[in-house]
Amino acid sequence: MTTRYIFITGGVVSSLGKGLASAALGALLQARGYKVRLRKLDPYLNVDPGTMSPYQHGECYVTDDGAETDLDLGHYERFTGVPARQSDNVTTGRIYSDVIAKERRGDYLGGTVQVIPHVTDAIKAFVLNDVTDEDFVLCEIGGTVGDIESTPFLEAIRQLGNELGRDRAAYLHCTLLPYIGAAGELKTKPTQHSVKELLSIGIQPDFLLCRADRDIPRGERRKIALFCNMKEECVIPALDVDTIYDVPNAYHKEGLDVEVLKYFRLLEEGQEEAIDLNGWNEIVSRVRSPEGEVTIAVVGKYVELLDAYKSLNEAMIHGGIANNVRVNLKWMESEAFEKEDPSQHLEGVHGILVPGGFGERGAEGKIAAAKFARERKIPYLGICFGMQMAVIEAARNMAKIEGAGSTEFGPCAEPLVGLLTEWKRGNVLETRSEQDNKGGTMRLGAYPCHLKEGSLVREVYGQDDISERHRHRFEVNIAYKDKLEAAGMAFSGMSPDGVLPEIVEIPEHPWFIGVQFHPELKSKPFEPHPLFKSFVEAAIKQSRLV
């Protein structure tokens, strides 16, 4: 079995869409019958993004096996359906941690430890590890060429190019063609300089993906090819599109997948159009031409940077695709509800979603949003922290438990939510304490949940047992279950041992569900998550009442 590697780099500026380019190329190769795997090398020194602020890095994407990873792995999963793993994301911090641990053990036999070969060898081992029968491994290098942080990664993939050989390795470089209004033309010089930077470290790109906001004239493509030492057909325009789900179509029309397969000598003459993209066309059609629309209020605490809710945003789009409606998201800062009446912001919305988060800031605002949704009979979906705040609201106002709160915010009279100190992962007992390090110490990854017969979530999922991904340190206190159920809040999803509350709902409400896990992490355009599909359907019904 021959596995081929495509290394994706970026130049000129950040945020060019390397992650989407990797995901789209993976989807195109997959549509041609190839098995793909996608990976991300991140150059920052953090061991993982788990302890980083969402304002710094956007959302932290969690895999089934409990890895806290870069948000681009979410794009990879959504576009290809291939579950990401711990072995698909690594940072400089983790590489250096492993190298230093080996040095301390004496694995280097007293030799001087250096970036070359020790760090680069560790990077290469990561790239090649845990690969079985994949036809292609697409490996994205974070950051921008020229950054000092990414230098070891670029050196490692340069070495891999030599070791694997031309038949098994290729380089795709993403660049920007800015439009200068005063001159009235696109400028190729930033791309030329970016490629020159790559060449200076020994990497000749085989394909250029040129981001632009307008058509790239043939003459400019010819000029880029000439100065960058490559074929004109391999200079691929990557023009702006109105939905990310049109990116595979757009790149196919420009010939990206064709040129990649020609490079690896895998495409026979006349096979250029032998690809089925009907599924992607249907998704794009539904996004562009929905039959209706609904408005969902998202009451969060990181709404200034929407990348903090990247998977959530996409999952809501998927819920709209499933119901053939456009979902308009109304992003609201939860702190505002602590100073103002929520009704002036939430009046007229068709659903209220309170997402995850950490810390006390904005918590009372989320509680107010849950109260508004419960009393006004508006569809409500609380995710992780959003579930916990809904439970505290129900305890205070339905069960009349004064002083109900969370120990996440400090000592409280009635700890409805408390620190999770031990739980089972399979047959292994996991334990934590307040003194533990913050990184990697939460309940992370996929855990099973049993759904209560006759409950709304049992109807939504259509099965008794589910598995969902978690990322949290605090849990709803099972000691309050009886009081809350007597007041009207049902515990409709529990861990198999009956110890950990996973889902709550209010049977007397049209649609009120809180989940301890993050369902958005498993939603895909071809497979919208059942909760988001049902939530949007409930919002459609609500829209007919407004």
What are 26-42's pLDDT values in tens digits?
A: 999 999 999 999 999 99
Helices and strands, counts by H and E, the chain: 18, 25
Mean pLDDT on 420-428:
55
Amino acid at 403: G
Closest CA to 478 of 420, 409, 407: 420
Predicted local distance difference test score (pLDDT) of residue 423: 45
Domain boundary among 230, 262, 283: 283
424 burial via Cβ count (<10 Å: 0-12, 13-18, 19+): middle
Mean pLDDT on 384-402:
93
Closest CA to 49 of 520, 442, 316, 522: 442
User: How many CB atoms sit inside 10 A of residue 323's CB?
Assistant: 23
Residue 545 has pLDDT above 80, yes or no: no
Predicted local distance difference test score (pLDDT) of residue 546: 60
Closest CA to 460 of 531, 545, 539: 531
**Same domain for 300 and 364?**
yes
Predicted local distance difference test score (pLDDT) of residue 343: 82
Residue 271 has pLDDT above 80, yes or no: no
Q: How far is CA 134 from the centre of its chain?
A: 22
What are the tokens at 190?
A: 């930033």
Mean pLDDT on 404-426:
74
Mean pLDDT on 380-403:
93
Percent of the chain with pLDDT over 90: 72
Quick one: pLDDT band at residue 164, thresholds 50, 70, 90? very high
211 phi and psi angles, rounded to 5 deg: -75, 135
Query: In 166-187, which positions are buried (b, 16+ CB within 10 angstroms) versus exposed (e)?
Result: eeebbbbbbbbbbeeeeeeebe
**Same domain for 263 and 349?**
no
Return all residues near 227 (Cβ < 8 A) that are at least 6 apart: 188, 192, 195
**Same domain for 9 and 156?**
yes
Domain boundary among 240, 262, 283: 283
Predicted local distance difference test score (pLDDT) of residue 420: 61
Residue 226 has pLDDT above 80, yes or no: yes
**Same domain for 279 and 318?**
no
**Residues noted as catalytic:** 384, 518, 520
CA distance 503 to 333: 25
CATH number at residue 247: 3.40.50.300
User: Are 436 and 30 within 8 A, CB to CB?
Assistant: no
User: Are 4 and 110 within 8 A, CB to CB?
Assistant: no
User: Are 530 and 460 within 8 A, CB to CB?
Assistant: yes
User: Are 471 and 444 within 8 A, CB to CB?
Assistant: yes
Residue 206 has pLDDT above 90, yes or no: yes
Residue 118 has pLDDT above 90, yes or no: yes
- Asked if the bond preceding 117 is cis, omega within 30° of 0, the reply is yes
CATH number at residue 375: 3.40.50.880
Q: How far is CA 363 from the centre of its chain?
A: 24
Alpha carbons within 13 angstroms on the beta-carbon side of residue 3 total 18
89 phi and psi angles, rounded to 5 deg: -145, 130
Mean pLDDT on 431-443:
58
What are the tokens at 119?
A: 């760090």
Quick one: pLDDT band at residue 1, thresholds 50, 70, 90? low
**Same domain for 218 and 109?**
yes
CA distance 55 to 466: 32
Of the given ranges (99-113, 399-413, 477-491), which has the lowest mean pLDDT?
A: 399-413
CA distance 214 to 224: 16
Predicted TM-score (pTM) of this structure: 0.91
Closest CA to 25 of 41, 13, 7, 10: 7
Predicted local distance difference test score (pLDDT) of residue 419: 73
139 phi and psi angles, rounded to 5 deg: -120, 110
CA distance 21 to 28: 11
What 24-27 contacts at long range (C-beta under 8 Å, 24+ apart), as own/partner pairs, is 24/79, 24/247, 24/248, 24/251, 25/138, 25/172, 25/251, 25/256, 25/257, 25/260, 26/76, 26/79, 26/80, 26/82, 26/136, 26/138, 27/79, 27/80, 27/248, 27/280
CA distance 419 to 473: 6
**Same domain for 274 and 336?**
no
Residue 82 has pLDDT above 70, yes or no: yes
Predicted local distance difference test score (pLDDT) of residue 432: 52
**Same domain for 393 and 466?**
yes
Q: Which domain holds residue 317?
A: 291-543
**Same domain for 217 and 246?**
yes
Mean pLDDT of the chain: 90
Helix (H, G, I), strand (E, B) or coil at 90: strand
Number of domains the chain contains? 2
**Same domain for 176 and 302?**
no
Of the given ranges (48-57, 90-99, 162-171, 373-382), which has the lowest mean pLDDT?
A: 48-57
User: Are 166 and 133 within 8 A, CB to CB?
Assistant: no
Predicted local distance difference test score (pLDDT) of residue 22: 96
Domain boundary among 283, 314, 345: 283
What are the tokens at 297?
A: 């209020």
**Same domain for 330 and 379?**
yes
Percent of the chain with pLDDT over 70: 95
What 427-432 contacts at long range (C-beta under 8 Å, 24+ apart), as own/partner pairs, is 432/473
- Interval 447-473: pLDDT, tens: 999 999 999 999 999 999 999 999 988
**Same domain for 274 and 348?**
no
Predicted local distance difference test score (pLDDT) of residue 441: 66
Helix (H, G, I), strand (E, B) or coil at 383: strand
**Same domain for 401 and 267?**
no
